[in-house]
Amino acid sequence: MSFLKKHWQVILTGLVVGAFAVALSALGNPANMGFCIACFLRDIAGGVGLHRAEVVQYVRPEIIGLVLGAMIAALIGKEFKPTGGSSPMTRFVLGFGVMVGALMFLGCPLRMVIRLGGGDLNAVFGLVGFAAGILLGVAALNKGFSLKRSYAMPALEGYATPAISIALLVALVCFPALLFFSEKGPGSMRAPLLFALAAGLIVGALAQRSRLCMVGGIRDAAMFKDYHLLLGFAAILVAVLIRNLALGKFTLSMAKQPVAHTDGLWNALGMLLVGFASVLLGGCPLRQLILAGSGSADSGVAVIGMTVGAAFCHNFKLASSADGPTPNGKIAVILFLVITAVIAVCNLQKEKE
């Protein structure tokens, strides 16, 4: 069947991501947070002391695994390619903005899907905002938005992000005294290190092969009526839903959902920012990690932007909690929506040529 032949990789990746997401939560990660790129980068920022929010500090092995899994798959597939030089500082700012939006909503696009699969109806508001943000980005792309070309770079540049990941792993395993570890709160809830690392490696490799991207799905559907990546998105949702139903972990409600708040407007606006800024970056936070593992220094800078953004979010009280959004967080989301719009407009290039 040509449908399966064309799409099996991305569907398989989605199903595996969904299955691991539920398994990671069952084995210790916070509920509906088997995977969350935003939350985990935030935990890592805390783990190395960039912020001192004591409940969200842990160097998450999932992230390390994702980067290294992508690197290994890219090397085997002869797709590892050190590149960079495509508006790095703009990418840093956009990555920062993605995190401001994600921590308003409390989750990256991947966690949004996982929350949906757990019955968290607040994520519906997030999804609406997310799709609207993607459409804003698509409008910019259609008008000629570009962060300009990337160029071939020396090998060292491409291996920088994997090397940083390995350094974090060495610190986590051999020198944990250097790091911060939450004793309570989401940061203290963790699946066993080896399982988390293996889950990251497997998902990282599959996501590199299949180009799975939460933003790309809706973007390509809107721009080209191409539903390929959206199938991956759907596969995650189906896998999470089925596993949650089987384990009796599916709770359909808005109130009392794990690591979530019920402010619909700000859930939507947070994800509006995530969608908009992610389209300009060329992919969701997961995709940025995968590209960074495959040699893209540009995506590496976006990941650093997200990580630094997470530290600022907690140092300046921008991040929401289960109690809801903070006044500072609302100001920051509006500010970064404006900044993202300015970046979009300033990078429109005239057609011709």
Partner 1 sequence: MKHIDAIGLSCPQPVLLCKKALAASPEGIEIEVDNTTACGNVTRFAENLGYKVTVKEADGTYLLAIAKA
Interacting residue ranges for partner 1, rule: CB under 8 A: 6, 77, 79, 81, 83, 86, 141-142, 146, 148-152, 211, 216, 219-220, 223-226, 228, 282
Nearer to partner 1, 216 or 270 (CB): 216
Would you list the DSSP string of 88-117?
HHHHHHHHHHHHHHHHHHTS-HHHHHHHHH
Nearer to partner 1, 43 or 220 (CB): 220
Smallest gap from residue 325 Cβ to partner 1 (A): 32
Smallest gap from residue 119 Cβ to partner 1 (A): 33
Smallest gap from residue 307 Cβ to partner 1 (A): 21
Smallest gap from residue 291 Cβ to partner 1 (A): 8
In this structure, is the dihedral angle defined by the CA atoms of residues 226, 22, 198 and 102, taken in order, positive or negative?
Answer: positive
CA nearest to 290, candidates 210, 208, 198, 200? 208
Query: CB pairs under 8 A, 24+ apart, for 348-353?
Result: 348/140, 348/143, 348/144, 348/145, 349/144, 349/145, 349/146, 350/144, 351/144
Nearer to partner 1, 183 or 226 (CB): 226
Nearer to partner 1, 95 or 329 (CB): 95
With b for 16 or more beta-carbon neighbours within 10 A and e for fewer, the 94-108 pattern comes to: bbbbbbbbbbbbbbb
**Spatial distance between the Cα atoms of 294 and 113, rounded to a whole number of angstroms:** 25
Smallest gap from residue 100 Cβ to partner 1 (A): 23
Nearer to partner 1, 216 or 325 (CB): 216
